[in-house]
C-alpha cells in the first residue's frame, strides 16, 4: 500500500459531511508541519454550522507561489442501505477504492500532500513557495470557506501566482482532461404579480402565468452570446415554476420562476441582467408594478489560457501518463471561481469523475499514483523554470 493510498483511506474514514471537517485538515496539517509549512486554521460561520479552513504556506512569499486547493467536506451519503459497503469505511473491490469522497476529492488531497513530501525531500530549498488552501464549505453554501480565506489573503497582500484545484476533472483516465476555466453562474427569482380570482370570471382577475408566458418564451429562445474558443455559448435554463393554490378553479395571484445563466467570458452579469429586464419590458412587464426580480451571482467565469501553469501541467501529464490532456471549461462551478479573483492562473486537475456524489463512489487504485506523480512533476516543472528565471507570473 502506497503512502498516497494510506492517506486517502485515512481521510475517507473521517465522516466529513459538509460543513464538518472531522479532523481531516488536522491530519493534513500534521504532515505539512513536518515539511516546514506554517499552518493556520481560519474558522467562519455560525456555531451550529462552523466551517473549518486551512491555510498553510512554505516560504516567505518572496518567490512565485503554487497553491494546492481543495475541500475536505463531502456530500451526504444518501441511504446507507443502498451502499455495498459503509461509505466511511474504505473498501476495495475489483481494483477500486470505495467510500464517500474517494473521487471528490480526498484522493486529490492525499496526492497533493505526498507529492509535496516527495518533492521537498528531493528539493529541500525550492525556488518556489508552496501553499495549501483547504475548506470544509465547498459542497455546501460556499459562503464561509474559500471565499473567506481569499479575502484574508488579499488583505495581507499574500503573493499568489498559480493554483491547482484538486476537483475530479478526468473522464476515463487521470489526466485526460483538466479544467482551465469555468463558466459563471447567475440565478434569478422572478415573481410576476397578478390578481387572484375565480377561474370562471377571468375578467375580474389577472393571471400572472399568462402574463409571464410570452416573456418566458422569449427568454428561452434568446441567443445570449456565441461563446468563444474556450467556452460554449451562454445558456439560460428555468429550474422551477411555482404558481397556483392547488385548486383547479382559482386563478393564482402570483407565479414565481427560478432560472439560471451559465455564462461565458463573452457576457457579464450586469449585461445579462439588463437584457432580461429589457425582454420583460418588451413583453409588457414593468419592474415593481408587474414583477419583482431578485438576482444571485454565484460566481464569475474565469479562464487560464495556455501559459506557464497550463504548460507545466500539460508537460507533467504527458511525462507521467503519455496522454495529451484536453483543456475544458465544461461542468459546474468550483472554488476556483473565488481563487481566480486573487490568483492569475488557476487550473483544476483530479481523478475521473464518473462516480462523484453517487452511491458507491469510488476511484480506481491505478489512478491514484499517477495523480500524485503528476502533481509532483508540476512542482518540478515550475521549480525548474523559476530557477532558470524564465517565469513572469
Mind telling me the catalytic residues? 73, 138
Distances from the Cα of 29 to the Cα of 44, 51, 58, 137, angstroms: 18, 16, 12, 18
Instruction: Give the span between the Cα atoms of 158 and 152, in whole angstroms.
Output: 9
* Continuous H helices in the chain: 3-12, 24-33, 107-122, 146-156, 208-221, 269-282, 308-321, 336-339, 368-387
At residue 50's C-alpha, the angle toward residues 48 and 51, to 5°, is 155
Asked if residues 140 and 53 have their Cβ atoms less than 8 Å apart, the reply is: no
Distance of alpha carbon 110 from alpha carbon 38, whole angstroms: 18
| Residue entry with cell 475541500 | 71
Residues 6+ apart with CB under 8 A from 357: 75, 104
CB 223 within 8 A of CB 279: no
Q: How far apart are CA 68 and CA 381, in angstroms?
A: 15
Q: Exposure pattern of 313-338 as b/e (b: 16+ CB <10 Å)?
A: bbbbbeebbebebebbbebebbbbbb
What's the maximum distance between 2 C-alpha atoms anywhere in the chain? 82
User: Is beta strand 96-98 parallel, antiparallel or unpaired with respect to 362-364?
Assistant: antiparallel
Amino acid at each position: 500500500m502506497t503512502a498516497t493510498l494510506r492517506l486517502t483511506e485515512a481521510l475517507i474514514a473521517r465522516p466529513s459531511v459538509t460543513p464538518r471537517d472531522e479532523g481531516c485538515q488536522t491530519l493534513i496539517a500534521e504532515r505539512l508541519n513536518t515539511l516546514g509549512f506554517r499552518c493556520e486554521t481560519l474558522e467562519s460561520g455560525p456555531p451550529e454550522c462552523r466551517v473549518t479552513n486551512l491555510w498553510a504556506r512554505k516560504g516567505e512569499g518572496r518567490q512565485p507561489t503554487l497553491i494546492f486547493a481543495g475541500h475536505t467536506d463531502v456530500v451526504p451519503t444518501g441511504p446507507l442501505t443502498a451502499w455495498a459497503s459503509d461509505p466511511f469505511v474504505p473498501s476495495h473491490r475489483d481494483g477500486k477504492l470505495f467510500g464517500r469522497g474517494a473521487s471528490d476529492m480526498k484522493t486529490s488531497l492525499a496526492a497533493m500532500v505526498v507529492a509535496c513530501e516527495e518533492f521537498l525531500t528531493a528539493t529541500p530549498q525550492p525556488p518556489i513557495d508552496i501553499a495549501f488552501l483547504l475548506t470544509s464549505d465547498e459542497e455546501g453554501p460556499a459562503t464561509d470557506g474559500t471565499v473567506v480565506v481569499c479575502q484574508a489573503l488579499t488583505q495581507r497582500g499574500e503573493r499568489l501566482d498559480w493554483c491547482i484545484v484538486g476537483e475530479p476533472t478526468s473522464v476515463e483516465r487521470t489526466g485526460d482532461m483538466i479544467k482551465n476555466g469555468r463558466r459563471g453562474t447567475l440565478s434569478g427569482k422572478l415573481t410576476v404579480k397578478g390578481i387572484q380570482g375565480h377561474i370562471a370570471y377571468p375578467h375580474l382577475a389577472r393571471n400572472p402565468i399568462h402574463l409571464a408566458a410570452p416573456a418566458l418564451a422569449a427568454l428561452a429562445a434568446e441567443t445570449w452570446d456565441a461563446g468563444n474558443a474556450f467556452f460554449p455559448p451562454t445558456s439560460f435554463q428555468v429550474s422551477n415554476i411555482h404558481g397556483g393554490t392547488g385548486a383547479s378553479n382559482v386563478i393564482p395571484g402570483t407565479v414565481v420562476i427560478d432560472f439560471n445563466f451559465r455564462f461565458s467570458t463573452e457576457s457579464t452579469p450586469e449585461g445579462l441582467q439588463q437584457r432580461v429586464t429589457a425582454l420583460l419590458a418588451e413583453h409588457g412587464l414593468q419592474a415593481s408594478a408587474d414583477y419583482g426580480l431578485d438576482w444571485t451571482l454565484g460566481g464569475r467565469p474565469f479562464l487560464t489560457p495556455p501559459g506557464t501553469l497550463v504548460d507545466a501541467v500539460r508537460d507533467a501529464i504527458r511525462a507521467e501518463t503519455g496522454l495529451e490532456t484536453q483543456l475544458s471549461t465544461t461542468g459546474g462551478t468550483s472554488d476556483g471561481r473565488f481563487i481566480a479573483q486573487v490568483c492569475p492562473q488557476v487550473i483544476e486537475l483530479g481523478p475521473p469523475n464518473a462516480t462523484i456524489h453517487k452511491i458507491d463512489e469510488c476511484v480506481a487504485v491505478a489512478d491514484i499514483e499517477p495523480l500524485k506523480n503528476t502533481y509532483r512533476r508540476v512542482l518540478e516543472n515550475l521549480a525548474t523554470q523559476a530557477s532558470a528565471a524564465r517565469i513572469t507570473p
